[in-house]
Structure formats: C-alpha cells, structure tokens
Structure 1
Amino acid sequence: MENQKINFNNFKYSTNVSEKSLILLNFNLVEKEVSINVFSYFIYGFGFARCVSINKNINMFKLILYEKKRNLYIVGNTSSIVKECPWSWAGKCEWNSFYVVFYIPNNFVKNLENITIFNLYTSTKLDVTIKRTYNTKKNIDNLTICVPPLYWYNNFLQLFLFTEIWKLHGASHFIYYYYSVSENVMSLLKYYESKQIVTLIPYKSLPKSNLIDPNKSVYRYGHLTAINDCLQKRYSKYSTVIDVDEFLYYNETIFLNKENFYQYIEEIFKKNKKLSGILFSHHGLQIDTKNMKDDFEFLQKTYINYFKGPQKYIIKSNRIEIVDSHKPLKYMKYNIKTINFNDAFLLHLRANWAYKNNKIYHKINLISLNQTKLISDQFMYIKKILKFSKEFNFQTDALMIMNKCLSKWKMNGCKIPNDFCQKELLDVEKWIKSDDIYTPEHYLIL
C-alpha cells in the first residue's frame, strides 16, 4: 500500500450517504480466463459514486479488502465504468456508474470469509458477504440475456415476444432488472420465473440522506451498473446485453445447417479460440401491424428498414471485465470480431419506426412458420393461466407519455424519468415498484 501507514482502528462503520460515498450493489467472486486455459479470480463490485468527488481525489479513493482469518489485505482498483464522468452531454448527472475490483490469489479463493472493506477516502468500513458466481461444478448456461432496467414498462405483448423468440434462438436464461412495471407485465415475468428461465432483480432507488439524494443526478436509473452486475450473476458460456425490442438475426440461406442463433455463435467462437466477443451492426426492423391477430402470422411479414444505430454484442463473460450498452470496454488478452452484415446483424424493433410506413430494404424471416405456430399456442396458454384480457396489441401508451415528458431533458442536464414523468405516469397502470418489494439485500454504503 505504497508504504502508507493506516490505522484501521479509526475507521467507522458507514451509515448515511454523503457526497463522498461509494454505493455498491454487492460483491461477486468470479472466475476469469485471463489467457487461454489460464484462470484467475477477482471480486467485482458495481455501483455509484459522485464524479466530482472521485475525479478530484482519484489517488485517495482506495478500497482495501481485509480477510480476518488469514490477516490478508488486498488493495482494490476503483474507476468509473466510462472514462468521461460526468458525460459532456449530461453534465448534471453528477453520480455515475463505478466499479471496484480486487484480484484474489488462487490459494485464498476456497475459504474466503469474514471480509471487511475499508474506504480510505471516507474513512469508513463495512463487513460484507461475498457472492460466488464461480462454483466448482460449473453449471454453465449456454446463453444468458441481460435486460437493462425496465421502468414504467407495460408492454405485455412485446415482452412475451422478446422472451419467446429469444428462447427459440437458443437463450437459456434471462435476467430482468426492473424499477417499475405494470401488474400484467409482472405476472408474465413471474410466470417465466416459475419456469426457472428468468431471474428477477428489483432495481431499487439509491439510498439518500438529509444532505444528498443521488437519485436526482443519475442518468436513467444507472443502467451501466445494472448490466455489468448482471454479467456476474450467472456462470454462462455466452452473454448479451440487449433491450426488449432487439433481436439478433443470422442469414439462414448461408448457414443452412444451423438450428438457431446459438449454434451460429457457438461455431464462431469454436473457430476463433482467441475471441472474447463479437459485434453486430444495427438495422431497424418493421412489422406489419395492420392486421395483428393472436395467430401471430404478422411475424411472417417483417422487414429491414434503413434506420441504423450503435452495435450490440455477444461475449464470453469470463473474458470480459467491463461493458457499456453497445460494446465491451475492458477485456482480457483476447480479440473482438465484427460480424459481416451479410452473415448476421441486430434487428431493432423500436417503437418510433417499427410500426410506421418507412422505406424498407427487404423482407426477412425472423422466425419460421412452425415457430410462429408455437408462439401462438404459447400465448394462448399463458393468456389463459394469467387471465390476460387486454387488447391484442403493442401497448405503447406509457412509452409515448415518457418520450414526451423526457423530450427536453437536456435542458435540465440529466435524464431522470422519475422527476420528469412520474406524475403523468402514475395513473396509467397499476404499477409494481421495486422500492415496494421486500428483499433481504440492501445497497452497500462506503
């Protein structure tokens, strides 16, 4: 610790949030393949800190992990997830996503317990429990889908289609973070949770004090913290971070022997042993919604349009350290490959273009006719058991209200849906809010 003498007896247990605090979701012990067939262990914690405080005192902002049993001290590295903090285009988002990482020697991994974390910047300490994503049995998921936090979300049909189509594409598990969803959407999520293909994470408001409320200056509920935390949740072969209006598509005419998208990416990684991730170009998706019926045959009329945007990715989670929404930011000694558009790409069914008569490129088969029948049967079954009775359509009323009330957020300096939209949205649905859900876990304040 750079020959610095520290009296840890002077550290106090943290209680209230201050402008100097680091707020973390949890700590996860994970295994990383630092080079081919060489594995090391790390503890990651993702959360939030105030940009101004950290940037002005970056050399002071150190966390130290202490394991009492072996009198072990390990210094952690702390940083914002993205380099610019705050973002130049959101200057009043003073609280941003941060992370801390501790390297854990292999011989200390098995019996790591009685852990205390010390924050040298705030002179606070906290006793913590380390979660273990890594396990010796290696129960690996094939493909985990991480969904950024859902907020004021009520589009039952969209969520159903997203989950069912990705299941057909080979997804083995979904992790949904949510801040606020409608009762119908929660019923659907709970149904999938009961089938053990979905993990639900209530994404609660940050703790506040009389002096400061971080929620007033966090961009869009801090989605970067959620998605990076998600990638530590499961021991998964491959993972992606993707929104509920996005699908990845491969050219079936070229890859005739592939049963689904998972088989396609599996072959890519097998052929390229030094890959940590693959990137897909972005294209808009349109569907014919004029004659939507619950036979789902409208899914046979899907088209690429000319709307383009940022890429999305599939990664080997154990070769990646940090990601943002569109690309890996920090990874081990491996390569990133961009997939040729003729082979595969991202299809984005964004509401402001998906259902309009825009110029289209060509028709594609998002799913087969047989798969369409399977989805229709599944919808009728779920509709019956959940007693879902709303009109068969994409429900975009809450989204349209939110788009309108957030349209001038840059004038206020930070995109905070609660501050701008909560009043207009409260009576649209019966909302299930994460803050009202009891969980034994709480944010960690250091």
Structure 2
Amino acid sequence: MYSFHVIPTSYYAAKFATVKGFLIAYCSNKYTKNPKKEFLLAKVNGKSYRGVVRPMKLTFCEQKNMNCQLETFYVNFNIPRKYLDNKQNLTIVDYGTKKKGIFKLYSGAARSKQFNGITLCVPTLYWYNNWLQMFFFLEYWRKQSNIQIVIHYRSMSSTVIKMINLYVKHGNVFLMPTPPLPRQNGRDIEPFIFGFGSKIYLNSCMYSRNTKYVLAMDPDEYFHLYHKDRRESVFDFVENEFKKVPHTHSINFANYKVSYRHRKITPSFKFSQKLLISKDTINKEGKSVVRTSKVGLIGYHIPIGKTPKTTYRVDTNRGIVLHARSNYIMRKIKGKFPQVVVFDDNELKNVVKHYQELKKELGGELKIEYDIKIANSLKTYDRVDTKKICSFDYESSRKYIEKLEDWVHAEDQCIMERLFIPF
C-alpha cells in the first residue's frame, strides 16, 4: 500500500468515490482473479465500506519479452464525506484474510482551494546528476504563469538537490522522495515492475494537490508554441484550447526530438537558445495536459483508459513538445531541420542572471557541462537479460554508479512523507 487520498469534489473521480488509494501488487492476484469475493474494506465510525482493487493498466504485464510481474493498482471507497472531516488515518481490512492495517489519509487537497493552473508531475528520477538539464527545465517553467512542479526522485546528486531546493523557496517547486519497494521474503522485487511503479507517484501527485490541470513531464521536455506573442503562456494556450473543445478530457501535443544548433557550451548560455527539431518516431503518443474534472487516472503520455483517437491533438504548426534527450541533444545532425527558439534575448539575460545567483549560493559548484556519463552508465540492457527482469535493476546499477557522484538517496532522508507498507 502506498497512499490514500480524499478526492477533491471538483475531480472526475468524485462522481464515483470519496477516497482513492494506490498500491502495487502482482499482475495476477486474488483481487483481480475473484473481485466478488476478494476485496478491501475501509472501517469508519463502526461501518464498513467496500473497495474493489483494480489495475491502472496491465500493459507491461502482457509483454512477452520482459519479465514484468508487478503493476500499479488503485481502489475506490465511497465513504460519506461527513465521516472524513479531520480524519487522519484509515483502517483497511482484507475481506478474505481479515488482515487489518492503519494507513495515513491525505485530505489536504480536498480541503484546499483549487489551483487555477497546471501541476507538472515529474516521474521518479534515479541516479540523476544533470544539473544543467534540470536548470533549463526549471528556468523554462519559471517564465510561465500558473505552474507548480512536483519532482519525484529516488537518487540525485547533492548538487542537483541543492539547486532544486533554491527553486523550492519560490513556492511553486516541490521535491518528493520516493521510497524503495519493501523486499518480499528477502527478495528484491523492484526489477519486476516498470519504472518502479512511477504511475503511482504520478497519480498520487494528482490527488495530493487540488489542481485544475495535471501534466506528466520529464526534465528534458518543454513546450514550444508557434505564436507571435511570446507573452502567451502554456496555461493561457491550454485554457483557450479547452474553450474550443469543452468536452475533451485532455489537450495533447506531438513529440519532437531536439538538438542544439550551437553545441559549444559556455556561461553565456547562447547554445540553449536555438534548437533543431525532428519528428520523434518512437514516442507517438506525445504529452497531454489533462483536466482533472474529466479524467480519473493519468499516464506518462495520455490519460489511463483513453486512446490517442479520443485525445484532442494540437496542430503541430501551433504547438509541440520538445524532447531534449541527453543522448541526442548534443548530437550533430546532418541535413536541414526546422529551428525553434526556447529563450529569446531578454529571457536569456534572466537565465544568465539566475545562473550567477545559483552559482553564488552554491559556492561555485555548477560546472558548465552537459553531463551524460550517468545516462551512458545506465545501459542496463547490457548488464541484465531483460527476459529476467522488467526493465531496470536499481541495485545492480549501484555498483557501477555509486562512486561517480555524491548521491542523495530518497530512503536516507530523515522524513519520508510516504512509504510502501506491506499488506
């Protein structure tokens, strides 16, 4: 079990329940095999409320070339809201085994005023040390309006952590350490779930904040809007698009790979201004800004349970997503490609100014280089046969990477807001 949330009344999920919980379980388990007899009960004020455990999506469980044994699940409880006022814990009982557990109930989002903007939920980052990439990501969104960012991490370099914490002080950036999965009978089960179950963190992020829109986005991704008025923010653009299609659940943008036009990295940051773009033939689903009033669960690219055909996509001559992959951004590409500007001259002056401020705060720790040595060290397909694991073995990678940086591990933090609790 990971977390339980009181659902904000404005959310789509509030039509069917008042509490939503998130958990990880084996792809094939008793709850999915026999939901009529195997379910969970929430005990409140002497009454029991039934909750059926359902998978978010079993995509990876069905992959024959990967050994994905676990997936992310959710459970809904329809408990009268009057019983949830000021309630801090929830007693959960397994109907079959009668096993009981007490879990923290998060109700802050349901009690708060809705954030009139977009909440960016960054999936779990592990062995992450590319401060320059993160700096550009935060600077891009800093110039936007009506944005808040939640960054999940498992392991980060101390330099990146310190830098992000300086942005946290502005009030719209939040750092969220993600816990390791508990071992099962001494066995490490993390290699058997894709991305360590990042869909749980994305959706817990959505239900931890009462937000109008939510977006899953990596730190190597930006939006580019083709308009004459650069003052129009991503939020304003999305608001106007939803007015055109008021019944749609999300606004989707096509993905484009990008490379720097000028690859010489200097403190002037001029190299960051202009990017050459080419169509991303791998990620065809793009990225979606999702309306929480229309969708119950989000995924990496499109809402869970939805298909690209049901998603409204913005014309690529009006807006796209720029994907600045660390293994591609510095590559010299041949041929003629369209060019986009990420930071204009005035915006670049602010970027340089903010860099100087950060450098002063961090005592000169920020070396100007685009560090991809960690990304290159994470070629785990060369280390472990993917037929034996799902996609990534965190502990196996530790011996290759641990000495490359001064790492901050999520599990070593003094206060972990949330932990996986075996049940």
TM over 0.5: yes
Which position in structure 2 is the counterpart of 1:392? 368
Aligned AA (1:30): I
1:208/1:410 CA distance change after superposition, 3 Å: closer
Separation of aligned partners in 1, 2:376 and 2:97? 43
Answering whether residue 43 of structure 2 is matched by residue 66 of structure 1, we say yes
Matches within 5 A, 1:36-435: 41-54=17-30, 55-67=32-44, 69=45, 71-84=46-59, 86-89=61-64, 91-110=66-85, 112=87, 115-170=90-145, 172-210=147-185, 212-253=187-228, 256=229, 259-308=232-281, 309-310=283-284, 311-330=286-305, 336-358=311-333, 359-403=335-379, 409-435=385-411
Separation of aligned partners in 2, 1:424 and 1:85? 27
Native 8 Å contact 1:304 1:360 kept in 2: no
Q: Which has the higher strand share?
A: 1
Native 8 Å contact 2:254 2:287 kept in 1: yes
Separation of aligned partners in 1, 2:385 and 2:377? 14
Separation of aligned partners in 2, 1:65 and 1:376? 53
Alpha-carbon distance, 1:372 to partner: 1.1
1:357/1:139 CA distance change after superposition, 3 Å: same
Percentage of pairs with the same residue: 22
Helix, strand or coil for the counterpart of 2:317?
coil
Helix, strand or coil for the counterpart of 2:403?
coil
Unaligned runs of 5+ in 2: none
1:195/1:89 CA distance change after superposition, 3 Å: farther
1:393/1:49 CA distance change after superposition, 3 Å: same
Helix, strand or coil for the counterpart of 1:149?
strand
Which position in structure 2 is the counterpart of 1:6? none
Alpha-carbon distance, 1:423 to partner: 0.9
Unaligned runs of 5+ in 1: 1-23
Native 8 Å contact 2:114 2:212 kept in 1: no
Helix, strand or coil for the counterpart of 1:353?
coil
Helix, strand or coil for the counterpart of 2:165?
helix
Separation of aligned partners in 2, 1:280 and 1:336? 10
1:26/1:304 CA distance change after superposition, 3 Å: same
Alpha-carbon distance, 1:181 to partner: 0.5
Helix, strand or coil for the counterpart of 2:356?
helix
Pairwise CA RMSD of aligned residues? Answer: 2.6
Deviates more, 1:39-48 or 1:236-245: 39-48
1:169/1:412 CA distance change after superposition, 3 Å: same
Alpha-carbon distance, 1:271 to partner: 3.5
Helix, strand or coil for the counterpart of 2:259?
strand
1:201/1:111 CA distance change after superposition, 3 Å: closer
Native 8 Å contact 1:283 1:345 kept in 2: yes
Which position in structure 2 is the counterpart of 1:444? 421
Report Cα offsets for 1:111-135 as digits up to 9, x if no partner.
Answer: 5566311112443111233111434
Aligned AA (2:410): S
TM-score (norm 1): 0.85
Separation of aligned partners in 2, 1:436 and 1:45? 25
Deviates more, 1:192-201 or 1:377-386: 192-201
Number of residue equivalences: 415
1:204/1:34 CA distance change after superposition, 3 Å: closer
Report Cα offsets for 1:237-289 as digits up to 9, x if no partner.
Answer: 21110111111221114xx3852222111111233332321111111111135
Separation of aligned partners in 2, 1:390 and 1:156? 8
Native 8 Å contact 2:122 2:149 kept in 1: yes
TM-score (norm 2): 0.90
